[in-house]
Amino acid sequence: MNLTVYLAGQIHDNWREDVKQLTSQKNLSITFVSPQTNHDRSDHVGEAILGTQPSDYYKDDAASAINNLRTQVLLQKSDVVLALFGEKYKQWNTAMDASIAIALGKPVIIVRPESLIHPLKELSNKANVTVETLEQAVEVFAYIFE
Amino acid sequence: MNLTVYLAGQIHDNWREDVKQLTSQKNLSITFVSPQTNHDRSDHVGEAILGTQPSDYYKDDAASAINNLRTQVLLQKSDVVLALFGEKYKQWNTAMDASIAIALGKPVIIVRPESLIHPLKELSNKANVTVETLEQAVEVFAYIFE
Amino acid sequence: MNLTVYLAGQIHDNWREDVKQLTSQKNLSITFVSPQTNHDRSDHVGEAILGTQPSDYYKDDAASAINNLRTQVLLQKSDVVLALFGEKYKQWNTAMDASIAIALGKPVIIVRPESLIHPLKELSNKANVTVETLEQAVEVFAYIFE
Amino acid sequence: MNLTVYLAGQIHDNWREDVKQLTSQKNLSITFVSPQTNHDRSDHVGEAILGTQPSDYYKDDAASAINNLRTQVLLQKSDVVLALFGEKYKQWNTAMDASIAIALGKPVIIVRPESLIHPLKELSNKANVTVETLEQAVEVFAYIFE
Amino acid sequence: MNLTVYLAGQIHDNWREDVKQLTSQKNLSITFVSPQTNHDRSDHVGEAILGTQPSDYYKDDAASAINNLRTQVLLQKSDVVLALFGEKYKQWNTAMDASIAIALGKPVIIVRPESLIHPLKELSNKANVTVETLEQAVEVFAYIFE
Amino acid sequence: MNLTVYLAGQIHDNWREDVKQLTSQKNLSITFVSPQTNHDRSDHVGEAILGTQPSDYYKDDAASAINNLRTQVLLQKSDVVLALFGEKYKQWNTAMDASIAIALGKPVIIVRPESLIHPLKELSNKANVTVETLEQAVEVFAYIFE
Amino acid sequence: MNLTVYLAGQIHDNWREDVKQLTSQKNLSITFVSPQTNHDRSDHVGEAILGTQPSDYYKDDAASAINNLRTQVLLQKSDVVLALFGEKYKQWNTAMDASIAIALGKPVIIVRPESLIHPLKELSNKANVTVETLEQAVEVFAYIFE
Amino acid sequence: MNLTVYLAGQIHDNWREDVKQLTSQKNLSITFVSPQTNHDRSDHVGEAILGTQPSDYYKDDAASAINNLRTQVLLQKSDVVLALFGEKYKQWNTAMDASIAIALGKPVIIVRPESLIHPLKELSNKANVTVETLEQAVEVFAYIFE
């Protein structure tokens, strides 16, 4: 059995590499997909493909249209979604990816620090499992294969 | 024709009353539903019904379960969802309500200040319409009735 | 706003009347529907309509077909499902009604005594809210109307 | 053609091995998936991953969340569900797995002793086929390949 | 509570009036809908609206398109479908209406004489309840209201 | 029985009034809904609510977002969709409304002149019924009520 | 590209072999699945697995339950359904298989002689394509691969 | 990862070859599917398989039935839909393919010249991304693989 897991969350550091390494240590057969993780590329892809936009608002809308298309393709191919929340950033697109996965019937694991329990409580209650570290999330992956 | 509109968003001030008043001025036949708007009641409803919980984490989980049940009932009865985002608060439950509505095929109007264009860009692109003021949102409601 | 609530659970005593009375005391606008609550009628309806069956197995199958038709009609008309579990009886049809409601996207409240926490844990985790008394369940109903 | 079959039911003995052996004797190309069959592991997985919980209730809820995630992933990958019921245990999670499979449009075979005809009659009537032995269930599998 | 019941089946005699009379005797609040019951009108409606067609084949196709539109509207408004089969006629449209109702999750009652048990066995097994007389079908309706 | 019918098609003349008058002559209980029929209002609503846009492209996108929201609300409330095609205009939004209705399982009637048979053949084949005049479409409405 | 095609229809002669041979002549990459084509086995499978039943009615119901399970598994794996109708037999299970495929969004080709145009007209109108010979049906298969 | 992309649009020139060549230059693992691109074959396939029809109308209907079956099979196998619109032709079947893909939850990229912004604005707003050249569309494909 192979699983495909979508890694939703911020793209400011290399946390997805940690997940892959932890998974690799456990020899789990998982294919990871994710949003564009090059932050500059993600922000500028609209203008890169569609040309200069009239203002930041339109630049952002053009980029998000292409980012959303990418996510829609990859999320539909996934068996599980891991959504990471942290102290920094608004992360509404992470909340959106997790919520749409829930509505599509896809199992969702949320990873968030203790400090975010309160503001994430409704989404956390809708998700299947909420943990505090990536190690714990990978243990949940491993449990599916036991 | 009567419409039911779910008003998703923070519950720290009376913005929903503004929407109702603006709607009433235009004589639109809209029934508004919303999450629990008494903030204390919303936070404490878990313990109020289920009794004292072992810690804040469990208190929050108990409250959010009941809040999510309420939202699930009312969202399913709605024709349109208005989701308000502002500078303050994490508002991940607002992002969740809007995203689940989108996934269920319900039209969504987002209201957010200009300062939030960038962090909300993916959700905004998925929603039907994004405006900056409640007055504009009510004009969209009115347009449905024209 | 009026809600329709399906009361799933055993039909050996009058617990549904308690729910109705508690609801009535709070002036909640709820229409209750339920399986056939006359236990003899429920067990014998197959033979009553289709005639004598060759054995108890076929008698049971004939009755359950008609009971399932009734439940399917009424569950689809419901906004919320309350499922009561108790110490006695197998209650697999209650588990079935609750699970099908969950799969259909209908909010589910489970009522069960503390002694059943362990065997009901997976279903309880899938449901929206689990409480221990009918009074608590009616408080959850009331919360939707607040 | 290869089929994936989810084996729902109690995890107190090795009945799944019997199914696999019977299937292997008939050279059927079936991949079996199942809940965690190590009973201790299944009961303790919540605390094993999330740490000590405040009481048995929370320990059970943590374990069931992870068990439900596992089941959701594997059930969605299945073509058929076999649900075994026996004299012992409450088996409400078995009833839940079977019912959710039915609601998702997945074919369900129930295996139960004659003594359980009456309490299982509604679920049995909703399932595709009900048999009394694992041998009979495997004959139904074989029939799909004929 | 009011139910809407679609009466699928042949349109060569007045059996639907019998159903209505039996229902009226029991004071059941049921709205009945049905295909066009004027047989000539049903066969000729294509040419009546679209003009003369090149041959019987095209005349039939034009009529069936309009009959199917009518059925689609009315079936979607129904809570229950009663499908009557008899010795005469091919009745494939009746089988189609019943099967589509089943696939849409609508409860289906089949009425057929004993002589048709064998050829109808697969459809009968998929339907909720199969009876032999219209009186029995109306008893099932009544049971929903008990 | 009352039906709600969405009237998709161009908004350059008063053809919807003809439909309403023909329906009224037959005393059919139909509520008609439609896109914004004031052509200027439809084209300018984006800027009217959201303010001046940087160019015609953005003006059009803003208007279409609000028009699509209106259509989504009203189409979901409809039992039947009538889509009118004519010689003039591109009418891709009409094709979109009809196609989305088909995909949602809503019955669709297409009205088009003989000259458009060839370019509309795939959509016409997917729709329930295709006629050439509004009178014929209203006869189809009337047939549902017979 | 490989397609899976379900061959619905009577099991009294070897018409499925003709389809396979015609397909093989055209080198089309199609996997065919079908109901049990051994007529005796199909009629007796219920008693073969479940033991002697009290009467022909129960024998038929037991067999059809297992036949329906087989069809449900195989139909869900199919990309296209071919449904053959002929002069003989009631063929209501063929009508059921075709109708359920239509409701599930699966493309359906009907093969029927000219003499059955009238009684099959509603189902034929719902299906994608209706032809008169197996050769024509295989030409439609081939067209998908062109 | 491999993607399947459906190329909707006119079949009067070889634009699909350009897409394939551009994709091949970027080494993207994409399988392309499309409607019948031999225009004559597409227009005549109805009569080629079903025999001479009474008039152009019936010839067109027969062809479109078979074309729609092909599209339904291939669209359901696709992960993404590219829909090309140009100055010439009505292209309502292109609008239909794109709209049905949107309603099925499949991501859609529209390619259209600047001159078509206004008439395509509603469909463009419903699609994920709208670009002006095939090169831009292929850049969006490439972005999914980054």
pLDDT tens digits, H21-58: 999 999 999 999 999 999 999 999 999 999 999 999 99
User: Can you give the pLDDT at residue H117?
Assistant: 97
Q: What is the pTM of this model?
A: 0.97
Q: What are phi and psi of D23, to 5 degrees?
A: -70, -40
Q: Cβ atoms within 10 A of the Cβ of G142, count? A: 17
* pLDDT reported for residue B122: 97
| For residues F79-97, average pLDDT | 97
Closest residue by Cα to residue B46 from B66, B23, B19: B66
Once rounded to an integer, what is the mean pLDDT over residues E3-14? 97
| pLDDT tens, position by position, D39-95 | 999 999 999 999 999 999 999 999 999 999 999 999 999 999 999 999 999 999 999
- Write out pLDDT tens, residues F19-30: 999 999 999 999
Residues of A with CB under 8 A from a CB of B: 56-57, 60-61, 63-65, 67-68, 71, 85, 89-93, 95-96, 98-100, 102-104, 114, 116-126
Structure-token match 């294509």, residue found? E46
A82/A6 Cα distance (integer angstroms)? 6
Across the beta sheet with C30-33, the strand order is C30-33, C3-9, C80-84, C108-111, C129-131
Mean pLDDT to the nearest integer, E67-95:
97
Report, as an integer, the average pLDDT of G139-143. Answer: 98
The answer to whether the CB of D74 falls within 8 A of the CB of D33 is: yes
Q: What is the mean pLDDT of residues C17-32?
A: 97
- Are the C-beta atoms of residues D22 and D138 closer than 8 Å to each other? yes
* Residue H123: its H or E element: helix H121-126
Q: Is the pLDDT of residue B101 over 90?
A: yes
Of the candidates F135, F143, F146, which has an alpha carbon nearest to the alpha carbon of residue F22?
Answer: F135
pLDDT-derived band at A136 (thresholds 50, 70, 90) equals: very high
Q: E with C: 3 or more CB pairs under 8 Å? A: yes
Q: What average pLDDT score do residues F67-95 get?
A: 97
Q: What is the pLDDT of residue F1?
A: 87
pLDDT of residue B123: 98
Residue D1: pLDDT above 90?
Answer: no
Q: Where are the domains of chain C?
A: 3-36+78-145
Question: Beta partners for C33?
Answer: C6
Q: Cα–Cα distance between C54 and H50 in angstroms, integer?
A: 52
Q: Please list the residues that pair with E6 across neighbouring strands.
A: E33, E81
Span E109-130, average pLDDT = 97
CB burial of D120-137 (b: ≥16 within 10 Å; e: otherwise) equals bbbbbbbbbbbbbebebb
CA distance F3 to F78: 8
The complex's ipTM works out to 0.95
Q: How far apart are CA G55 and CA G62, in angstroms?
A: 11
Tens digit of each residue's pLDDT (9 = 90 or more) over B47-97? 999 999 999 999 999 999 999 999 999 999 999 999 999 999 999 999 999
Q: Is the pLDDT of residue E43 over 90?
A: yes
Chains that touch E (3 or more CB pairs under 8 A): C, F, G, H
Nearest to E96 among G61, G90, G126 (CB): G126
Q: By CA distance, what is G70's nearest residue in D?
A: D144
Name the residue facing C129 among B66, B74, B77 (closest C-beta): B66
Chains A and B touching, counted as 3 or more CB pairs less than 8 Å apart = yes
Using a pLDDT cut of 90, give the percent of chain E over it.
99
pLDDT category at B1 given cuts 50, 70, 90 is confident
**Which residues in chain G touch residue H6, judged by CB atoms under 8 angstroms apart?**
none
State the smallest CA–CA distance between residue G133 and chain H in angstroms: 10
pLDDT in tens, G116-134: 999 999 999 999 999 999 9
Tell me the β-bridge partners of G83: G8, G110
Which backbone phi and psi does H126 adopt, to 5 degrees?
-80, -30
Q: What is the mean pLDDT of chain C?
A: 97
Q: What are the start-end ranges of the E strands in chain B?
A: 3-8, 30-33, 80-84, 108-111, 129-131
- G48: confidence class by pLDDT, cuts 50, 70, 90: very high
Largest alpha-carbon pair distance within chain E? 53
Shortest distance, CA H71 to any CA of chain E (angstroms): 21
Give the nearest chain F residue to E74 (CA atoms): F144
**One-letter-per-residue 3-state SS of chain G:** CCEEEEEECCCCCCHHHHHHHHHHHCCCCEEEECCCCCHHHHHHHHHHHHCCCCCHHHHHHHHHHHHHHHHHHHHHCCCEEEEECCCCCCCHHHHHHHHHHHHCCCCEEEECCHHHCCCCHHHHHHCCEEECCHHHHHHHHHHHHC
pLDDT for E61-77, tens place per residue?
999 999 999 999 999 99
**Contacts with C57 from chain D: Cβ below 8 Å:** 114, 117
> Does the pLDDT of residue A87 top 90, yes or no?
yes
pLDDT digit string, tens, across residues H86-121:
999 999 999 999 999 999 999 999 999 999 999 999
| Spatial separation of the C-alpha atoms in residues G92 and F98, rounded to whole Å | 32
Q: Where are the alpha helices (DSSP H) in H51-85?
A: 56-76
Q: Quick count: other Cβ atoms within 10 Å of Cβ E3?
A: 18
Is C22 or E1 the better-scoring residue by pLDDT?
C22
Determine the pLDDT at residue H1. Answer: 87
Q: Nearest C-alpha of chain D: how many angstroms from A35?
A: 22
| Cα separation values, C100 from A7, D97, D100, Å | 30, 10, 6
Q: How confident is the model at residue A14 (pLDDT cuts 50, 70, 90)?
A: very high
Give contacts of G58 with chain C, Cβ < 8 Å. 54, 58
Q: Are A140 and D72 within 8 A, CB to CB?
A: no
What is the average pLDDT score of chain B? 97
Categorize the per-residue pLDDT at F51 as very low, low, confident or very high, splitting at 50, 70 and 90: very high
Mind listing the pLDDT tens digit for each residue in B27-61? 999 999 999 999 999 999 999 999 999 999 999 99
Using the beta-carbon criterion (under 8 Å), do C1 and B38 form an inter-chain contact? no
CB contact under 8 A, C65 and E129: yes
Nearest to H69 among G136, G140, G146 (CB): G140
Are chains B and C in contact at 3+ CB pairs closer than 8 Å? yes
Q: What is the rounded average pLDDT of the residues H70-93?
A: 97
Q: In what order do the strands lie in the sheet with F80-84?
A: F30-33, F3-8, F80-84, F108-111, F129-131
Return the CATH architecture of domain B3-36+78-145: 3-Layer(aba) Sandwich (3.40)
- pLDDT confidence of C39, banded at 50, 70, 90? very high
Question: Is the pLDDT assigned to residue C70 strictly greater than 90?
Answer: yes
CA angle A17, A101, H141 (to 5 degrees): 65
> How far apart are the C-alpha atoms of B3 and B29, rounded to whole Å?
7
Q: Are B44 and C115 in contact (CB under 8 A)?
A: no
The band of A12, judged by pLDDT with boundaries at 50, 70 and 90, is: very high
- Chosen from A47, A56, A58, A61 to mutate, greatest number of chain F CBs within 10 A: A58
State mean pLDDT over A94-106: 98
With contact defined as beta carbons under 8 Å apart, do A123 and B97 qualify? Answer: no
The per-residue pLDDT for F25 is 97
Rg value, chain E, Cα: 16
Buried b (16+ CB within 10 A) or exposed e, D76-91: eebbbbbbbbbeeebb
Q: Contact H79/A73, CB-based, under 8 Å?
A: yes
Scanning the structure block, which residue is given the tokens 């696709």?
H78
For chain G, the residues whose C-beta falls within 8 A of a C-beta of chain C are 54-55, 58
Are F133 and F15 spatial neighbours (Cβ–Cβ below 8 Å)?
no
CA angle A74, A79, A81 (to 5 degrees): 70
- Chain B residue with CA closest to F36: the answer is B146
Q: What is the token pair recorded at F39?
A: 């052509």
Structure tokens at D121: 């009659």
Neighbours of G118 (CB within 10 A): 16
Identity of the residue in E68, E74, E77 whose CB atom sits nearest the CB atom of F128: E68
